[in-house]
């Protein structure tokens, strides 16, 4: 049997590679603490990555391991048996007892040899590097980060720990998003559905748009020869991700001479660059609209709600009872147990009011990423591709991207958009034949497929060109090559380039011919105006400098469309009724909006008032969406709609105690120690490209960023190699005692940047370069 990628009994000694040699890596820390790691094997490369990530973010990695070990309640407490920590623990303990991860590591699943030896070596090396750092500092008691100093939940890692965190990331938009509904599922009583606890996470998935995980997103441009001044390719990476916690990015440059050489960023705890560039190609990701799971409606056997029919024959659900220990306020712990029910499709899920478990029917889900063991191999091979055509071959072979699109460009000046992510195989024919009539509207509106689980003919099946059964093959997935540009800002594939819309793909991937978000429209408008020479920048094509200015120009597209009409409306009607029935004086709000510069810069006065208006649902249009002009419609404020002024009144009420004409940077900030760093950008609902989510604290302002622009890269690819700009908005380290805790955040505040440092000349020109080598038992 193979366990954690190693044949039982054949694991190398601790701190050793497969060939018996010790790990060794050279670390060159450049400005802002960005590590450039060189090693002669992938095991030693992983060793270097694990070491530097532990130096900068050990507490983040350790907490991720607590989560996937099902021990959050034990170490972080719980308010009761239905607490979020308890639900998380039950879910992940069940996965451990099911040996879900171990089953993915036999390397022979469905004919795809993954994980490869190189990837296994990287994981093994990462674990060794993390543990080497922990030993070198003398254990948790000597850590400098107060978040986990001397905490008993900090321990050495195992390979399975890291594989489990990887698996948790793969299922983020599938069964992990439905975690509450899986934990809550219980068979009905004789009198009706079981009194399942509320499953808010599952309900949120139902309400989400086109399957994009709540709160995540991104912008990306792939620019070809027709859009750049130098005639080569250029890529903008602008992922929007959390500023705290397990999904922070980490910048790094990784090199195995002659085999791999990539600069970019990865999620903390991952050993491979996931967004970045090599010498001749660059790429980014945006969250795709495609669904990652399908429902199966089960027809239950009368009198036995844990058995269901398939082709007229009953099948029994399997069960597993999982117990976790939860702290008792009176002292000690108390056991909390839950019995999970599984089918051959996957787990039974309950969403109260939508997908209930009755005596007649239940609902199971198939999460096609639950068996995705190909991701690190896919990213490794992406980093080795030389052109976007080679990149497509990687996408076709591995089909590894769990829930993201890819946007890329190469030095030859060709750009690529593809949603070649892992998507359940729901073709138009299957949807027509196997989604019962009551669920057809749900599929049309959201892409959520509820298949008839009583017929084997309605199983997902296999596309002949797919990497594994159950997912759409490359021929059924959207892709576009261009020499001008491609973009994505989390709407579907349809308008990757408006000159060549992508149409005719299964609904489960995303909507076509429908209204786009304001952020998508602004992203397209920015490119079109640049190429037409009608923006505020010289010329008609992009340089990396102009691309940087475009991203951080902080145009508020919603304001451009409706501000003047809104001001005219509130001037004519200076009072309005808020949602709570109170009458609100709008004169100061009108004056603030009249003087606003239509930007979300730190010096923009009144920007926060408009964004609160947008968040209150005030951007309502009078004209219709026109599929023939999707970038510019709709555009006129619905001034006759009472909801417009009501939203402005609500915004004024919410901002009580905060000057309506305040500078954005005075009220929207990010704390670093005793500093409050001014932050530009704002919410996508207002039509802001540089997305920042910074919740309002009544009477105070917006004092803490929770989500938004994270790793930003503008890189061009030319005959002399890559060059450009990049930044990690929240800085490299989560440790307040690190020199790299706030430096890039201050840089972001001023719209500054760090330069690409891919070549030896670029790296050696850095005045802050510091070099050291790590190896078994040594650090010098």
Question: CB neighbours (10 Å) of residue 574?
Answer: 14
CA dist 335 and 326 (Å) reads 6
- Which phi-psi region, left, alpha or beta, contains residue 51 (left: φ > 0; alpha: ψ -120 to 50)? alpha
d(C-alpha 181, C-alpha 198), whole Å: 8
**Rounded-to-integer distance, Cα 654 and Cα 760, Å:** 53
Residue spans of alpha helices (H) in 542-629 = 544-551, 557-572, 587-595, 607-615
Closest CA to 442 of 355, 319, 378, 501: 355
Q: Answer yes or no: 454 catalytic.
A: no
Residue 632 CB contacts under 8 Å (≥ 6 apart), including other chains? 521, 525
Sort 767 into a burial class: Cβ within 10 Å, 0-12 / 13-18 / 19+: exposed
Task: Kindly provide the residue ranges of all beta strands, DSSP E only, lying in 146-289, ordered along the sequence.
Answer: 217-223, 234-242, 249-256, 260-267, 275-277, 281-287
Q: Quick one: DSSP state of residue 595?
A: H
Alpha-carbon distances of 337 from 93, 362, 639, rounded to whole Å: 11, 21, 55
The answer to whether the CB of 664 falls within 8 A of the CB of 596 is no
Catalytic residue chosen out of the listed positions 44, 69, 208, 218: 218
Specify whether the backbone of 63 is left (phi greater than 0), alpha (psi in -120 to 50) or beta.
alpha
Please give the angle made by the CA atoms of 358, 362 and 367, to the nearest 5 degrees. 155
Interacting residues of 28 by C-beta distance below 8 A, sequence separation 6+: 35, 36, 37, 38, 763, 769, 770, 771
As a whole number of angstroms, the distance between CA 495 and CA 475 comes to 19
Which tokens belong to 407?
A: 């946007």
As annotated, the active-site residues are 218
């Amino acid at each position: 049997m193979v366990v954690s990628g190693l044949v039982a009994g054949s694991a190398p000694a601790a701190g050793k590679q497969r060939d018996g040699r010790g790990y060794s890596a050279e670390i060159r820390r450049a400005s802002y603490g960005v590590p450039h790691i060189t090693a002669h094997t992938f095991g030693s490369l992983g060793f270097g990555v694990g070491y530097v990530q532990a130096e900068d973010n050990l507490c983040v990695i350790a907490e991720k391991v607590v989560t996937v070990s099902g021990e959050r309640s034990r170490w972080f407490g719980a308010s009761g048996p239905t607490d979020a920590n308890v639900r998380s623990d039950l879910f992940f303990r069940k996965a451990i007892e099911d040996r879900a991860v171990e089953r993915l590591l036999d390397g022979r699943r469905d004919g795809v040899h993954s994980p490869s030896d190189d990837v296994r070596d990287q994981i093994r090396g990462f674990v060794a590097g993390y543990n080497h750092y922990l030993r070198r500092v003398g254990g948790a008691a000597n850590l400098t980060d107060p978040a986990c100093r001397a905490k008993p939940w900090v321990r050495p890692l195992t390979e399975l720990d890291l594989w489990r965190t990887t698996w948790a990331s793969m299922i983020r938009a599938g069964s992990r998003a439905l975690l509450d509904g899986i934990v809550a599922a219980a068979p009905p009583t004789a009198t009706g559905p079981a009194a399942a606890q509320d499953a808010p996470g599952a309900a949120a998935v139902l309400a989400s748009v086109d399957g994009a995980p709540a709160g995540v997103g991104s912008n990306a441009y792939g620019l070809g020869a027709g859009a750049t001044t130098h005639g080569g390719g250029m890529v903008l990476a602008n992922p929007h991700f959390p500023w705290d916690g397990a999904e922070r990015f980490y910048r790094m440059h990784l090199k195995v001479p002659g085999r791999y050489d990539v600069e970019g960023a990865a999620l903390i705890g991952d050993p491979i660059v996931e967004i970045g560039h090599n010498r001749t190609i660059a790429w980014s990701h945006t969250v795709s609209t495609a669904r990652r799971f399908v429902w199966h409606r089960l027809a239950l056997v009368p009198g036995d709600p844990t058995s269901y029919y398939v082709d007229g024959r009953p099948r029994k659900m399997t069960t597993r009872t999982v117990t976790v220990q939860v702290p008792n306020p009176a002292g000690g712990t108390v056991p909390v147990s839950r019995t999970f029910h599984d089918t051959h499709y996957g787990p039974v899920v309950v969403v109260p009011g939508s997908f209930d478990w009755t005596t007649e029917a239940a609902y199971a889900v198939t999460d096609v990423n639950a068996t995705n063991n190909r991701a690190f191999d896919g990213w490794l091979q992406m980093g080795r591709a030389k052109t976007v055509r080679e990149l497509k071959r990687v996408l076709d072979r591995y089909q590894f991207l769990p829930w993201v699109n890819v946007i890329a460009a190469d030095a030859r000046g060709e750009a690529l958009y593809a949603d070649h992510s892992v998507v359940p195989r729901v073709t138009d024919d299957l949807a027509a034949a196997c989604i019962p009539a009551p669920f057809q509207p749900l599929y049309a509106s959201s892409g959520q497929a509820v298949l008839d689980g009583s017929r084997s003919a309605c199983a997902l099946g296999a596309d002949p060109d797919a990497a594994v059964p159950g997912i759409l093959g490359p021929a059924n997935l959207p892709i576009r090559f261009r020499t001008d540009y491609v973009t994505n800002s989390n709407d579907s594939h349809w308008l990757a380039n408006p000159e060549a819309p992508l149409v005719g793909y299964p609904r489960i991937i995303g909507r076509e011919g429908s209204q786009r978000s304001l952020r998508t429209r602004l992203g397209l408008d920015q490119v079109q105006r640049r190429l037409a020479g009608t923006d505020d920048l010289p010329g008609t094509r992009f340089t990396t400098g102009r691309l940087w200015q475009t991203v951080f120009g902080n145009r508020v597209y919603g304001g451009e469309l409706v501000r003047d009409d809104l001001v005219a409306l509130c001037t004519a009607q200076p009072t309005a009724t808020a949602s709570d029935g109170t009458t609100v004086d709008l004169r100061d709000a009108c004056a603030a909006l009249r003087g606003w510069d239509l930007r979300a810069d730190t010096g923009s006065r009144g920007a926060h008032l408009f964004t609160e208006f947008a968040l209150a649902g005030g951007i309502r249009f009078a004209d219709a969406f026109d599929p023939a002009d999707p970038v510019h419609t709709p555009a006129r404020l619905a001034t006759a709609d009472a909801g417009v002024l009501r939203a402005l009144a609500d915004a004024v009420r919410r901002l009580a105690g905060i000057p309506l004409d305040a500078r954005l940077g005075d009220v929207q900030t990010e704390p670093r120690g005793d500093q409050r760093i001014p932050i530009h950008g704002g919410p996508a609902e207002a039509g802001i490209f540089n997305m920042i989510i910074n919740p309002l604290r009544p009477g105070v302002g917006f004092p803490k960023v929770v989500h938004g622009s994270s790793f930003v890269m503008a890189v061009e690819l030319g005959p002399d190699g890559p060059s450009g700009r990049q930044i990690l908005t929240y800085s490299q380290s989560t440790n307040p005692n690190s020199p790299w805790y706030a430096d890039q955040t201050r840089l972001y505040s001023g719209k500054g940047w760090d330069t690409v440092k891919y070549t030896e000349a670029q790296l050696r020109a850095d005045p802050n370069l510091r070099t050291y080598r790590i190896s078994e038992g040594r650090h010098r």
